[in-house]
Structure 1
Amino acid sequence: MVGDSVRFAVLGPLTTVLCGHERKIRGSLPRTLLAVLLLNANTRVSSDRLIEVLWGDKPPATASSALYNHVMRLRSMLGEGSRIQSSAGGYLIRVGSGELDLPEFLDLCDEGRTAAGEGRWTAAHETLTAALALWRGDPLSDLPGSGTPDGRLEQLRETRLQALEGRFEATVQLGRPGEVIGELLALTSEYPTREAFHRQLMTVLHMTGRQVESLEAYRRLRNELVEEFGVEPSPETQTLHQQILKRETVRAATGGTTAPAGRADIGAGRVIGQLPTDVRAFVGRGNEMATLLSVAGDSPDDGVPTGVVTISAINGMGGVGRTAPAVHMGHRLRNRFPDGQLYIDLQAHTSGPDPLSTRDALNWLLRSLGIPPQLVPATVDGQVMLYRHRLAGTRTLIILDNATSAAQVRPLLPGTSGCLVIVTSRERLAGLDDAHTVTFDILPEPNAVTVVRRVTGPDRIPADHSAPRELIALC
């Protein structure tokens, strides 16, 4: 054991420090493997997910054995054979307190937000400054390819921006608005449609007597939003603009939006209700539904259920009923998601067209969220970003029906907590880490008979007639 002398760093180029000296992890695949394990430190990552990250949609036939070999190689490079452990069809890396910059960063951000919420501005400033000091550049920026082996990277970037907003507000509350003007000028240039930074810049310029520059900052923001998205600044920003025009006193920075403004406010105000009609003859499935609802939280005391629940059929069998319990569950929970319910059939196991592409699925979801077609980004990456920004800070229920693979589902997941996603598929979708899976088998005969009698009517079939059982056997 090397103990306290080990330090892993992911908030920037991937670095592993052992005994005070940087140790190079050679080879792109071992480095990517280490990155994914560190982003999920002390949590199992399935082998399917790791294979998908390392080799994409077309892994080699020997992917499982190759993954094992890369794990062995990485263990050798780290010099600690027991740190990376096999666990239930996957691997995890053990990381102790103080050995990884990521949890330290997140803990400091939480402490800073708490201090700001309680008006302890000195503590908020100091804590958020310490959190931001852990960043050495874009997370894992030296990895090959896209450098994004895990969807958490976008969340981390957003957390950093919110930490910056919080530190700026703390600085202003401490009576030092002039200190942050330079940083805000740079950030509004880097993020030209992020309204929180522009509001903070407008505020500090106004507070330091630079009203003309403050109004110019608003003009630049409005031009960017109109040109890129065809929308006006948010009411909050417009109100601040009017205060500055009237030379009213603005006492504090207006920071901390839930999602990047200029994106999340597009189509805002729409409440979507796309759940199909609940099944009239829904019977049985008591154990499975109890499991699903316990995962999601089926009582007000459980709080708002969030995360991903997958409903799969045993052995890839179709026709056992996955959509019905998903929709039934959605209706049970819909009141707890006041921002709307989305439903989309991904067409993986239908007799009609091919499965929906990621682009087509995102286009449908964005249109459902009220994004005008002319404002839907042309690239898939842009669609994913806009979709996640639109859902950020909302409580939305999303049903992804008939999914073909984890790769098809992953871009359709929200980037932050607050939403519940229900996925149905014939496959187990093992590559969706942290998803709760419930497997459905054939409906037991007594329940199936009940369904037949409810559909046909109570008096159509005599009580002791064998026709329902014969029909069920044929089905």
Structure 2
Amino acid sequence: MRVRLLGPVDVEKAGRSLDVGPLQRRAVLAALAVDAGNPVSIDALTERVWGSQAPEAPRSALYAHVARLRRFLATADGDTTPVQLNRHADGYVLDIDRQQVDLHRVGLLAEATRSATASHGDRRIVALREAMDLWRGQPLSNLAGYWAVKVRRSAESQLVSVATAWADEELRLGNAETVAGRLAPIIASNPLAEPLVALQMRALCALGRMSEALQCYAVVRTQISEQLGIEPGPRLRDLHVAVLRGELDGTCTPGIVTTAGPFTAVPRQLPTDVVRFVGRASQLARIHDGLLPSTRAGSTPVAGIYGPAGVGKSALAIHAAHQVADRYPDGQMYLELRGCSVGSRPLSPTEALARLLRTLGVEMPPAAMQVDEAAALFRSLMAGRRMLLVLDNAADASQVRPLLPSGTGCGLLVTSRQPLAGLSDVCQVPVGPLAVAEAVTLLGQLDVADRVAAEPEAAAAVARWCECLPLALRIAAARLVARPGWPLAELRDRLADEHRRLDTLEVDGIGLRASMDGSYQRLSDSNDPTARAAAEAFTVLGACGEPELSRYTAARLLARSEVYAERALERLVDAQLLETSAPGTYRMSELLRLYARERHAASQVDVIVRGGGRSRRTTLPRGQALR
């Protein structure tokens, strides 16, 4: 027995379709089969089946459908491998071999073809043909609703990847007619998948149908221009020129297809997953949803993680990327953009594109690249693929915008200190400190569990002095590991001393100071005078010792107008150097205040002022003293 989702939802046995029942029952089956072998909560099932149109008693309706599905599966199963629908906590799980669900079978076949070596060509084409045969039309075609649309788009992006691989192999074997007939409807639904278009043009040329190949290019060029406002990528343009010159006249030489197919080396660049990871359940859920295929044709889903220094943005991004990696069988790329790194400037878009293109097999020295040309080439190589791109530590939207992939099959996960408002259609995921209980749990996981268990009150105090920031907690734990004779109370007392706190939270060259430096220096070194004024205001406001600030208080401390003060305060909020909980109210965390106080002290010098026959000592800002 096989559950079929790649077309109308139904169940097949011995080559014939079985009557599952009404559409809502098929929706329940699909909602469970998409996560075959894994539990699905009742709330999730309700959302998937009815969306916003749930009945008055959705649980009762769901129980009725589940009961009938159980009876149906028990009757239909017979002597085949058992398929059971079981209760699991507050939900249900469809216990079935995932290979009996066509959607998962296609994924397994695609993975097998990627791992097959060149010597296993026969095995590869057999697997690809089976994967293509499993497609019966639009996935979940007899279901409606937002969830069905999301699954449908994800499945269709997988079809593009599989079809690209299949067509590449069939052309290598000389089966151009099969390719031309099969790709036409797929391209009609996915006109921006340039690798598929290139394969179709080659197949048509191999059949001597050059005019159709030119018409195919003309149609997709119009679609790309209208939807994206750009020209097709250089590979497709070069192929178009080759057809015009007659260089592909009636031939399809094995191996001539040079699209960026999925059998090039698959990048697996994600850093090692964060094993000791605590909390962030709601943020992870938002990231997962944000990376679901977009409902806009050609639009890549983007999830943006932002928050202050040391809050754990990179760890969250890497952990989330590993969780969704199986959605992107064509690879995962990772790039550190150095947006707020101390001692190194941010990567320019040209440098970033050169590194990404090198990963995709294209060597282009940055000095010889135009940004728009390199970005267009990158989009062309990514089109039709299912790849995840993780951009860590972005400076701003202008740095990220040229690096956006093309197509709904890809996903972009980006971290930054501030929200990247300049990017459209981004799922913004703010990240703040952990809860105290979570912070204590994380501290206990970092090789000091015995001391945390023995001194729970001291552990909670350490977490609070660290402001529940994962970076500070990891540094504190590293200090304890290096000092096995220290009780937690000793570390607590050292952190309680504000004159030693930042020094205590520094070990082996890693510390909160360096992390905060990135945000501060981005303002102080800016060419924007407003940013530099905000940096100066940060040190003054931090030195005053008042954690809560109003616009009026800030104006008094800065000896400037309230308009000036508010502009500086809001700029500091954007840079994650201040928090605002209500309009006109601002707060500086204690760790940031200590850092700001150090910066303020470093910027002051003592000078001797002489006049009227008398001398006195005063303190002035360093720049003013030098004048």
Task: Give the TM-score of the pair, scaled to structure 1.
Answer: 0.58
Residue aligning to 1:83: 84
Structure 1 unmatched runs, 5+: 1-5, 283-288, 299-303, 309-329, 344-363, 372-386, 403-410, 414-420, 427-437, 461-467
- Please identify the structure whose Cα radius of gyration is greater: 2
> What per-residue deviation string (whole Å, max 9, x for no partner) do you get for residues 27-60 of structure 1?
3332211111111111111222112223324645
Contact kept? 1:342, 1:399, Cα under 8 Å? yes
Give yes or no for the alignment of 1:307 onto 2:324: yes
More helix by share: 2
Structure 1 CA distance for aligned equivalents of residues 87 and 416 of structure 2? 32
| Change over 3 Å in CA distance of 1:393–1:440 after alignment to 2 | same
How far did 1:238 drift? Answer: 1.7
**1:161-176 alignment, distance < 5 Å:** 161-176=160-175
Tell me the amino acid that sits aligned with residue 170 of structure 1: E
**1:398-437 alignment, distance < 5 Å:** none
Residue aligning to 1:55: 50
Structure 2 CA distance for aligned equivalents of residues 86 and 11 of structure 1? 26
Contact kept? 1:272, 1:341, Cα under 8 Å? no
Tell me the amino acid that sits aligned with residue 102 of structure 2: D
Contact kept? 2:439, 2:463, Cα under 8 Å? no
Residue aligning to 1:447: 463
> What per-residue deviation string (whole Å, max 9, x for no partner) do you get for residues 434-470 of structure 1?
xxxx96689923432465998995289xxxxxxx9xx
Tell me the amino acid that sits aligned with residue 224 of structure 2: L
Tell me the amino acid that sits aligned with residue 401 of structure 2: G
Residue aligning to 1:142: 142
- The alignment of Structure 1 onto Structure 2 pairs a total of residues equal to 354
> What per-residue deviation string (whole Å, max 9, x for no partner) do you get for residues 289-347 of structure 1?
7xx9599569xxxxx73439xxxxxxxxxxxxxxxxxxxxx99xx9999752599xxxx
> What per-residue deviation string (whole Å, max 9, x for no partner) do you get for residues 342-369 of structure 1?
99xxxxxxxxxxxxxxxxxxxx99x996
Contact kept? 2:109, 2:127, Cα under 8 Å? yes
| Change over 3 Å in CA distance of 1:247–1:456 after alignment to 2 | farther
Residue aligning to 2:37: 42
Instruction: Work out which of the residue numbers 448, 453, 458 in structure 1 matches 2:499.
Output: 458
How far did 1:222 drift? Answer: 1.8
Structure 1 CA distance for aligned equivalents of residues 315 and 440 of structure 2? 18
Instruction: Work out which of the residue numbers 363, 372, 391 in structure 2 matches 1:340.
Output: 391
Tell me the amino acid that sits aligned with residue 215 of structure 1: L
Contact kept? 2:393, 2:414, Cα under 8 Å? yes
Contact kept? 2:10, 2:26, Cα under 8 Å? no
> What per-residue deviation string (whole Å, max 9, x for no partner) do you get for residues 381-405 of structure 1?
xxxxxx9955744663368999xxx
| Change over 3 Å in CA distance of 1:206–1:133 after alignment to 2 | closer
**1:147-166 alignment, distance < 5 Å:** 148-149=147-148, 151-166=150-165
Structure 2 CA distance for aligned equivalents of residues 267 and 293 of structure 1? 23
Tell me the amino acid that sits aligned with residue 180 of structure 2: I
Structure 2 CA distance for aligned equivalents of residues 400 and 57 of structure 1? 35
Residue aligning to 1:253: 257
Contact kept? 1:399, 1:422, Cα under 8 Å? no
Residue aligning to 1:418: none
Give yes or no for the alignment of 1:111 onto 2:152: no
| Change over 3 Å in CA distance of 1:400–1:388 after alignment to 2 | farther
Residue aligning to 2:289: none
Structure 2 CA distance for aligned equivalents of residues 71 and 206 of structure 1? 53
3-state secondary structure, aligned to 2:232: coil
Contact kept? 1:201, 1:214, Cα under 8 Å? yes
Structure 2 CA distance for aligned equivalents of residues 48 and 95 of structure 1? 22
How far did 1:172 drift? Answer: 1.4
Contact kept? 1:166, 1:255, Cα under 8 Å? no
Structure 2 CA distance for aligned equivalents of residues 425 and 22 of structure 1? 51
Of structures 1 and 2, the one scoring higher in RCO (CA 8 A, sep 6+) is 1
Instruction: Work out which of the residue numbers 65, 70, 76 in structure 2 matches 1:70.
Output: 65
Give yes or no for the alignment of 1:102 onto 2:118: no
Contact kept? 2:392, 2:414, Cα under 8 Å? yes
| Change over 3 Å in CA distance of 1:167–1:31 after alignment to 2 | same
Structure 2 CA distance for aligned equivalents of residues 93 and 243 of structure 1? 52
Residue aligning to 2:205: 206
3-state secondary structure, aligned to 1:203: helix
Equivalent pairs: percent with the same residue?
21
Contact kept? 1:165, 1:256, Cα under 8 Å? no
| Change over 3 Å in CA distance of 1:339–1:236 after alignment to 2 | farther
**1:311-390 alignment, distance < 5 Å:** 339-341=390-392, 370=401, 390=407
Task: Give the TM-score of the pair, scaled to structure 2.
Answer: 0.45
Structure 2 CA distance for aligned equivalents of residues 54 and 401 of structure 1? 37
Residue aligning to 2:414: 397
Contact kept? 1:30, 1:70, Cα under 8 Å? yes
| Change over 3 Å in CA distance of 1:295–1:46 after alignment to 2 | farther
Structure 2 CA distance for aligned equivalents of residues 96 and 52 of structure 1? 25
How far did 1:159 drift? Answer: 1.7
| Change over 3 Å in CA distance of 1:42–1:168 after alignment to 2 | same
Residue aligning to 1:235: 234
Residue aligning to 1:124: 124
